[in-house]
Structure 1
Amino acid sequence: MRVLVVGGASGIGKALAAEIIDRGGEVVLSGRRQEVLEQAVGTLGDRASWVIVDLADEASIASAAAEVGSVDHVVSLAADHANGAVGDLHAVDIRKAFDAKVIGPILLAKHFAPSIAVGGSLLFFSGVAAWKPAPGLAVMATTNGAVAFLVEALALELAPIRVNAVSPGIVDSGAWDFMGAGKESFFAETARANPAGRVGTPADVAAAVLYALSDTFVTGTTLHVDGGGRFA
């Protein structure tokens, strides 16, 4: 299994890459920063490589597709947040968020679909904010929601290539470390509210991704990996 992982140099993406390699697969990590990609590949071993992909730049995507060649799956975890009250939002930040979650994935489909092997798939990341919106998260809710509709449309248009999404909830992936000492109480509160009784781990999300990649009867589907958090 050869998988292109967009945004896979850290957190959930790196955990997914490591799991694919542990199962005997090959991973091509991609993102905008060469030094970050090189560092990640250095820790993953000789079945990992890297290529520059900027989801806001179609030429970058086309070039990467030509360089990478045939793959079994393309997974994009990319995100570019534009959080805040609507009155404080700037158009340039909103567009970056849509580039990462909606426009970029469409262009990945455009340029990589011809190179996806029989039985292969595209998988994009949505997120719990689409099902549990909150003040200050209008852009995040909208872009994540768009992913869920996008995979349904692409699953029909690109068939027999499969197209799916994974929608994580609150996951201890390192993304919340900016909260400092407040992270522990935030996680504890989240765990109490979640039906599953805990926050997620990168391994939880990686398992869902690997299921979506391997089950050839699953397409046009969004898998919720949120511990029931969208209901809490």
Structure 2
Amino acid sequence: MRVLLISGASGIGRAIASDILERGGEVVLAGRRRESLDAAVELLGPKASSVVLDLADESSIEAAAAEIGAVDHVVSLAADHANGPVGDLDAGDVRSAFDAKVIGPILLAKHFAPLVEEGGSFLFFSGVAAWKPAPGLSVMATTNGAVAFLAEALAVELAPIRVNALSPGIVDSGAWDAMGSGKDTFFANTASANPARRVGLPSDIAAAAISLLTNTFVTGTTLHVDGGGRLV
């Protein structure tokens, strides 16, 4: 199994990469920053490699496709946030958010679909904000929601290549560490409110991703891995 993993150099992406490698697969990490990619590849070992790819730049996607060649799966965890009240939003930031979650994945499908091997798939990351909109998160909710519809549309258009989406909830992936001591309180409040009574771990999301990559009878589906958080 050869997997192109976009924005997979840390956190959840690193967990997915490790699971793929443990299964005897090969991982190609992709992103905008060569230094981060190289550091991750060094940690992951000889079955990992990297390529520079910017989802906001179609020429870089096309060049990466030419460099990488055939793959079994393409996974994109990319996100570029434009949070804040609608009245304060910057148009450039909003476009960047759509580049990461919607336009970029469409261009990935354009350039990589001809390279996906039989039984392969695309997996795009959505997020719980689409199902629990909140003030200041309108762009995040919209882009994540668009991912779910994009997976359905591309599953039909690209068939028999499969296309799915994965929607994580609150996960202790390192993304919340900047909250400092407030992180523990936030996690405790999240855990007490959701049906699973805990926050997620990168291993939870990685296990779900591997399932979507390997189950050849699942396509056009958004898998919610959020501890039921979207329900409350």
Which range, TM-score by smaller chain? over 0.9
Alignment pair present for 1:91 and 2:91: yes
Query: Which ranges in structure 2 are unaligned for 5 or more consecutive residues?
Result: none
Q: Which residue of 2 aligns with 1:43?
A: 43
Specify the SS of the correspondent of 2:56. coil
Matched residues in 2 for 1:17 and 1:77: separation?
Answer: 12
Cα deviation per residue 1:175-211 (whole Å; 9 max; x = unaligned)?
0001000000000000000100100000000011000
Residue 212 (structure 1) shift? 0.3
Matched residues in 1 for 2:196 and 2:39: separation?
Answer: 35
Q: Look up the equivalent residue of 1:154 and give its one-letter code.
A: L
Cα deviation per residue 1:212-232 (whole Å; 9 max; x = unaligned)?
000000000000000000012
Cα deviation per residue 1:69-121 (whole Å; 9 max; x = unaligned)?
00000000000000000000000000000000000000000000000000000
Of all paired residues, the percent bearing the same amino acid is 75
Residue 132 (structure 1) shift? 0.3
Matched residues in 2 for 1:219 and 1:188: separation?
Answer: 34
Alignment pair present for 1:224 and 2:224: yes
Alignment pair present for 1:63 and 2:63: yes
Cα deviation per residue 1:130-155 (whole Å; 9 max; x = unaligned)?
00000000000000000000000000
Q: Which residue of 2 aligns with 1:194?
A: 194
**TM-score computed with the length of structure 2 as normaliser:** 1.00
Matched residues in 1 for 2:3 and 2:44: separation?
Answer: 14
What pairs with 1:176-215 in structure 2 (closer than 5 Å)?
176-215=176-215
Specify the SS of the correspondent of 1:73. strand
Q: Look up the equivalent residue of 1:74 and give its one-letter code.
A: V
How many aligned residue pairs are there? 232
Q: Which residue of 1 aligns with 2:31?
A: 31
What pairs with 1:149-168 in structure 2 (closer than 5 Å)?
149-168=149-168
Query: Which ranges in structure 1 are unaligned for 5 or more consecutive residues?
Result: none
Residue 167 (structure 1) shift? 0.1
Q: Which residue of 2 aligns with 1:6?
A: 6
Q: Which residue of 2 aligns with 1:124?
A: 124
Q: Which residue of 1 aligns with 2:79?
A: 79
Residue 65 (structure 1) shift? 0.4
Residue 6 (structure 1) shift? 0.2
Q: Which residue of 2 aligns with 1:18?
A: 18
Specify the SS of the correspondent of 1:83. coil
Matched residues in 2 for 1:207 and 1:135: separation?
Answer: 31
Runs of 4+ aligned residues of structure 1 deviating over 4 Å after TM superposition are none
Q: Look up the equivalent residue of 1:92 and give its one-letter code.
A: G
Q: Look up the equivalent residue of 1:42 and give its one-letter code.
A: E
Matched residues in 2 for 1:35 and 1:158: separation?
Answer: 34
**TM-score computed with the length of structure 1 as normaliser:** 1.00
Root mean square deviation, CA, Å? 0.3
Matched residues in 1 for 2:108 and 2:172: separation?
Answer: 28
Matched residues in 1 for 2:165 and 2:210: separation?
Answer: 12
